[in-house]
Amino acid sequence: MATHPTARLWVQYMEMISLLRQFIKAERTGKWTLHLQTLHQMLPYFAAAGHNSYTKSVHIYLQQMIQVHAKHPDVYVFFNTGHHVIRRSDRFWAGLSADLVIEQVLMRSMKTTGGLTRGRGMAESQRTQWLLSMPACADVNGAMQDLTEANYVTSDQHKDSTMTRKTRDNRDNLALLGFLQDRNPFTHKSSPRNIATGVAADVSVNVHNALEVGNNIIKSMEGKNALDYVFKKKSQVVTMGHKISAKVDGESIQVDPQLLFQRLLTVAAKVTENVQEIFKYELCSNLSSLFEPSGLLRQANKPILADAVWALGRGNEMPAPDEEDMSYVLDGGSLIQRLPWKRDETFDSICKSYVDYVIRKYTSPIIVFDGYDTGPSTKDTTHLRRTKGAVGAQVNFVGGMPLKTKKEHFLANSMNKQKFILLLIERLAVNGLATVHADGDADLLIAQTAVNSAAKKATTVIGEDTDLLVLLCFHADPHSHGLFLRSEGGKNTKSLRIWNINWLQITLGPEVCHLLPFVHAMTGCDTTSRLFGMGKGIALRKLNSDPQFRGNAEVFSNEASKKDIICAGEKTLTCLYGGRSDEDLDALRYRRFCERVSSSNTSVSVHSPPPTHKQLPAIIALVYITKFNSGWENQITWIQKSGDGF
């Protein structure tokens, strides 16, 4: 076996699988001795694989548990009779680990309807009352099950012993054996190899000796304080995924060949100027700082901007609205997603559920819907990403026709969505509810409708999109009645925030609110790409504290020449990436590359440096498209008149 490392690796793998099965058996059947024995056998593998926290914790745990019979004999008897696990039924295989039960029972009930996180509060008195009431609630639940004869009963037979499971397992075993016949791991080879690809490992790879390596690490821990003990990476096993090895001063070290090449490149750049010139080019087939490898724009993390605005605008101090006399403007797209659809339910019935929902919750609302025409849109990339490329079949339906597909499949087709919106608008109008239908994306129209409504009385916008927050902060009249943005809520508690737009305008200041769309567009929104490695929070903080950044951003809101806009865009990006005022993007790319190569333990990927100067027209064009679509300003004539590079 010593001359068959691949075979030794596979035998070791089967031993590890056997240990996992043994551990599951110990937990499910409540075998205390088997539980400790299995953990003791797992310990060397934890150490060899570099799971340092597990190694220390299990080592200490085993030392304490071995002494339980002497220090706590009553606990030892209790554990040894199968009570170190928790059972929710009396079946033989029903044992569960305590941490698993805590998550599935206690924490789950805390976070569902009636739990502490649903409005009851988390004070000490409330936690105590809730915990003490749980046994009584369990008794009531059991009594109700007995009364209604709705008890949950399961068979004593383990599911793995059913005939169906045995048949499937046998089929899987035969498929695995067929695979191994042509890729036999038990052959004479001097080094481990990947049986699927045939690639042989480097001589430094010793993963097949994981047990021996792990035992040596455990032995080195003996007699030392676990808190002070430091694991050495060179003591762990070396896998085929590790970097190649080299010897320096007689010691074997791991070398990343790509990182080594990049470091040699930076050294060569000090004696020649040609290397620095290379960084004026993208060095890849697409604009990697703007596009994913799939070709789609990098997805923006829009909620990060909302969090940053909430923190900068002192959201915790924000006055709440008085809802006694309030107008409402609803985002129709969010409304459509809010209610579930049932299969075989008619479209008239689905529309009625929306009408009843709106009438029940809001007084005299205005619902604004998106438009989905057949022409191209600046949000096509976003729609493609949301549907993951799937396009639902077109359905020719009428109100009395039942739904025969899933909601998401039906709405994945823009023609279906447009036709359903028209049907829903008709049903809402019959019930006296006002609607507005946009030609395309409705975010700007929602904001404008809310601003017009706030001129007459206090208005709350109901929607989930960060775009609405940005547009409202930009378009709202600070002297109007109260204007608020509220979400219907969801699993994320942050979505329950109520935004006081007038308060934000005063707290952030008119200049920040005026330039907020620029920050949103430059760092990624539905029509622009997220710059790799650039967060919205950083841009917002610079907008609030850096006068030079604000000055460059202001150029985008004025009617300026193409030359001035490109210059301001380059200075803006240089500032965002931490460059100096006298640097251009290409020089910053080279300097950042050298800094990262010299300090990083891994090679620098091609999309990590800032974009090149030649990427500026594409970035600025996208920003101006967003500017035009959002009503940020109507100065887009320069992009229509100038053709070169835009």
Per residue in 417-430, pLDDT tens? 889 999 999 999 99
Percent of the chain at pLDDT above 70?
83
What would the mean pLDDT of 42-68 be, rounded to a whole number? 92
How high is the pLDDT of residue 644?
41
Average pLDDT in the chain = 81
- CB atoms under 10 Å from CB of 642, counted, come to 12
Residues 6+ apart with CB under 8 A from 624: 556, 636, 639
CB 401 within 8 A of CB 312: no
Place of tokens 């569960």: 96
CB 577 within 8 A of CB 588: yes
How high is the pLDDT of residue 77?
92
CATH fold of the domain at 302-506: Rossmann fold (3.40.50)
Question: Which tens digit of pLDDT belongs to each residue from 478-506?
Answer: 889 889 998 876 544 445 788 999 999 99
How high is the pLDDT of residue 219?
92
Calpha distance 166→160 (Å, rounded): 7
pLDDT at 251 over 70: no
Structure tokens that stand for 487 in this block = 């979400």
CA nearest 522: which of 305, 283, 293, 279? 305
Pick from 74-83, 124-133, 524-533 the range whose average pLDDT is largest: 74-83
Q: What band does 57 get if pLDDT is binned at 50, 70 and 90?
A: very high
Calpha distance 331→350 (Å, rounded): 18
What would the mean pLDDT of 524-532 be, rounded to a whole number? 79
CA nearest 353: which of 368, 363, 371, 338? 338
How high is the pLDDT of residue 155?
62
Q: Is the pTM here over 0.75, yes or no?
A: no
CB 275 within 8 A of CB 435: no
Looking at per-residue confidence, does 410 or 488 come out higher? 410
Structure tokens that stand for 68 in this block = 């339980």
Identify the sign of the CA torsion 217, 218, 221, 222. Answer: negative
What would the mean pLDDT of 1-15 be, rounded to a whole number? 82
Calpha distance 547→551 (Å, rounded): 6
Residues 6+ apart with CB under 8 A from 194: 201, 240
Instruction: Give the three-state DSSP class for 457.
Output: coil
Least confident of 171-175, 290-294, 379-383, 587-591: 379-383
How high is the pLDDT of residue 258?
75
Least confident of 98-107, 191-200, 308-317, 378-387: 378-387
CA nearest 297: which of 521, 472, 587, 114? 521
Residues of the chain with CATH 3.40.50: 302-506
CA nearest 317: which of 506, 101, 460? 506
Residues 6+ apart with CB under 8 A from 370: 332, 333, 421, 438, 440, 441, 442
Instruction: Give the three-state DSSP class for 76.
Output: helix
> Measured in whole angstroms, how far is the alpha carbon of residue 611 from the centre of its chain?
25
- CB atoms under 10 Å from CB of 302, counted, come to 19
How high is the pLDDT of residue 643?
39
How high is the pLDDT of residue 76?
92
Compute the residue count for the chain. Answer: 646
How high is the pLDDT of residue 158?
65
